[in-house]
Amino acid sequence: MPKRTPLALAVLSLAGLTLVTGCSASGTEASSTPAAAEGSAISADRCETNKAAGPITFLTGYQYQASASILNVIAADELGYFDALCLDVTIQPGTGDTGENAQLLASGQVTFTGVSEQNLIQARDNGLDILGISTYSNVGLEILMTNPDITDLTQLDGTILGQKGNLPPAVSTMLTNAGADVSSMQQVVVGYDPTILPRGQVQSLTGFISNEPNLLEAAGEKVTVWRPYDFGVPGSLGSIAANPEFASANPTAVEDFLRASQHAYDYCVDNATECVDYAATLSGEGYDAAHNEKIWKTEVGIVADNQPEDRPVGLIDLDNVDAEGTFLTDTEQIKTAPADVRSYFDNSFIEAIYDGTTLVWPAP
């Protein structure tokens, strides 16, 4: 399975070249919002059931980055929401290697982790038994950026395209769907400084939707962001997977892990700075809080802008899953088309924590 280029590894401060991991750039400490009391949001019987599930380990997709499905889990822990549901949760920072995350999940060394729908399907194709339980959006993270003078992707024919070691298949398919000739482009491997685009060293540059565009905006540079989603290429954002054995044995614990995470998601939408400070405190020195807050606000904005009104946030779009399976087969990223790709995902846990589109809190 290919190693995902860590989203936050690219987050080098344009002024100080500081990695995203570390303490709050503003020097602030995490807020002192009172934590929910243990067992306060759950019945006694359900509390005992959740306690019986034992220790739960959540492995982040990448470090303590303020992405959807990472920051809200951190906040759920800091705000006491897991304790309020009698869940014993430990959060571990991931390295950005989705293959490693999938292996640790399948082996039972972690209970939940962030894995995109595409990476999950690839993991299953490689024989790893993991289960998708939630996705925030069908809009994928991978993008292509150009300077504003590019108004049609066919204008990139014969130009220089910068990428981080490989051209993401979603970006390649987007270019092809737009009528561009990818074979005519000179692809060069570049580092993590996105200013090579406005400086004219490349005419297009791959990146992540909540990362490089925000870095360039902070540097006063304007770029155009091209999303594969807008060209019919399936993707996902903020996906969470579970160990299937744990999920089967402890369904209420899975429901309530998602319940606490979603309750924190709603809280962090309105209290972004506080939630980012929680992540900054965990990370330690060097954490770019200002940029991470932009990451969070960008991603929750994408979720809100593309969320169907009749679907609860986090519910997996199974039609999108079908499209993902077809895309991975057509682009030869998996060996064979899955017989039933939908069976790799289970919406029952998300469905159990909502009344229509309203999160049920406290737990029933």
Residue with tokens 């986090």: 314
Q: What's domain 142-231's superfamily in CATH? A: Periplasmic binding protein-like II (3.40.190.10)
User: Terminus-to-terminus CA distance in the chain, angstroms?
Assistant: 40
pLDDT-derived band at 183, boundaries 50, 70, 90: very high
Q: Where in the chain is the domain with CATH 3.40.190.10?
A: 8-138+236-359, 142-231
Residue 31: predicted pLDDT = 54
By mean pLDDT, which of 15-24, 189-198, 218-227, 245-254 is the weakest?
A: 15-24
Which class does domain 8-138+236-359 fall in?
alpha beta
Residue 22: predicted pLDDT = 35
Coil, strand or helix at 341:
helix
Total count of residues recorded for the chain? 364
Half-sphere exposure of 213 (CA within 13 A, CB side): 22
Residue 33: predicted pLDDT = 77
Of residues 27 and 67, the one with the higher pLDDT is 67
What radius of gyration do the chain's Cα atoms show?
Answer: 20
Alpha helices (runs of H) in the chain, residue ranges in sequence order? 44-52, 71-78, 81-84, 98-106, 117-125, 169-177, 212-218, 244-249, 251-270, 272-283, 289-305, 318-330, 348-352
Mean pLDDT across the chain: 92
For 37-90, write each residue's pLDDT tens digit.
888 999 999 999 999 999 999 999 999 999 999 999 999 999 999 999 999 999
Give the global pTM. Answer: 0.90
Strand partners, 169: none
Residue 284: predicted pLDDT = 94
